[in-house]
Structure 1
């Protein structure tokens, strides 16, 4: 079984139905599965998650339902904290964990897990990592930090370094190529109009400027890691799948990146390694690092 999704508008004759009844009528789910989807956070009414099975929805309102019967148990693994003070917290996100809620759930993600780990905190998200990517993620703890973090991640005042393993050597280079969603791609993918990536002539939705610097990693930087062709990527913009897409642009997909044609592996070999930024409240220069422990030999 795989993720299944439905979108529909409530008809006048269904206006008196409970939400679980409505979902069972308008989708292929039973009422039991509808209630499970609601509990997991897989139901949105007017673009807002709803978990109340007895809710009645007015005619004309859009309902989105997503259900994945193969979701694993809700994770309970503690999230490692790399840095914390009164205003921000930096964590080392495990691979395989979504940063925030997905179509089918708002319980199997980093934010949900941090809320159970640290119920005393109100956390504010300003950037994301792909589900398969591990490493550094910085969140605001106090509203005083939000403006500075938002400006930092929206601008180019950060030094964001990633480690990636590819299948063949790559010389130092810079890719400055707009990235856009590939129209009609299922599952959703991003791309650049580039012959090496097999995307020449593709229809890109709203391509936006993107720049990434690549260089081979040094022996010192990769000491103790699984042998292979390791590179360091520095991103100057924050586009979805940016490093993955720019490496495909060069004909060097990341090992384990099945979505973009990378060599087969049981993991995506991409890690958010180091982050340099000015503290959003104190102005202090922060140099944060999450060692790539999952790639050690």
Structure 2
């Protein structure tokens, strides 16, 4: 990925210029590339995405532009539905797509695909999966489910199990180590040690997956991870902290692979409206032998 970003403020001499002209003038993008960045959602005016090339912008306004010329075509895949009722929608997110819009696009992500697949729905997001991670993601489709679902994820009143593959064996253990963003890290990443920005408590339980749980999967060392907190990259960071990074996780020192071997596998929660106990599962099909 060759993501490029610019931030500039409109000055008085730019008052008569269209937005695409402003972008071409203040970046090294052509007007054609500027219009492409706008169409993909890579332009923010005062922190809000704008897609209208002809928009006029007042002096003093902050413009942010992100452009990735290597973005693939906008995906059109159907997102598998795991569970649906009047209030909730649970899906099996494919690996390789972001949960929601990135700097450069709001057309290549899961929410954009779901808007295309289910234009009748207004969906509310309360948790996320990393771009390389596949598996269960639950959204509210009715505002009445929002408070309960938000509280469940904020308070960890649920059971979240992930399946991960690592390069060597690891005995059952619990990691309780704070996680924070590593100051100055490029590319940006998180850690449990070093100069951490705003570290927060984090706890993950790990155990080896059983032969029954991994039947039919590609041979390897699999772990079941249970999250008790919801920090960014938590499983990836805690396994790297143990010296057992996830296979394919180049950001945290994992052995090279064609994929990130991490899957949101099972989720247990109380239905935020009906009170029913839900036990959802997305089999790790992309790990099959």
Q: Which moved more, 1:111-120 or 1:55-64?
A: 55-64
Q: Does 1:39 align with 2:39?
A: yes
Say which SS state the counterpart of residue 37 (structure 1) adopts.
helix
Q: Give me the whole-angstrom Cα distance separating, in 2, the residues matched to 1:59 and 1:210.
A: 44
Name structure 2 gaps, 5 residues minimum: none
User: Does residue 282 of the first structure (1) align with residue 274 of the second (2)?
Assistant: yes
User: What are the Cα deviations for residues 226-277 of structure 1, in whole angstroms up to 9, with x where unaligned?
Assistant: 0100000000111110000000110110000011110000000000000000
> 2:85 matched to 1:85?
yes
TM-score with structure 1 setting the length: 0.96
Instruction: Extract unaligned runs of 5+ from structure 1.
Output: 194-201
State the shift of 1:185 in Å: 1.2
Q: Displacement of 1:184 after TM fit?
A: 1.2
Q: Does 1:187 align with 2:179?
A: no
State the alpha-carbon separation in 2 of the partners of residues 12 and 147 from structure 1: 45
Q: Is 2:229 the partner of 1:245?
A: no
Structure 2 counterpart of 1:204, from 187, 190, 196: 196
SS at match of 1:287: strand
Tell me which stretches of 4 or more aligned residues in structure 1 moved more than 6 Å. none
What per-residue deviation string (whole Å, max 9, x for no partner) do you get for residues 42-84 of structure 1? 0001110000001111111111100001111110110000000
Superposed CA deviations along residues 1-50 of structure 1, whole A, max 9, x for unmatched, are 71101111111211221100000000010000000000000000111000
2:255 is paired with a residue of what secondary structure? coil
In structure 1, the residue matched to 2:221 is 229
CA deviation after TM superposition for structure 1 residue 157, in Å = 0.9
Residue of structure 2 in register with 1:199 after alignment: none
Matched, 1:59 2:59: yes
What's the TM-score once normalised by structure 2's chain length?
0.99
Tell me the SS of whatever aligns to 2:25: helix
**d(CA) in 1 for partners of 2:262 and 2:15?**
48
RMSD (CA atoms) = 0.7
- Paired residue for 1:292? 284
Structure 1 counterpart of 2:128:
128
Query: How far apart, in 2, do the equivalents of 1:34 and 1:292 lie?
Result: 39
- Mapped to 2, the partners of 1:113 and 1:187 lie a distance apart of 27
CA distance in 2, matches of 1:118, 1:151: 25
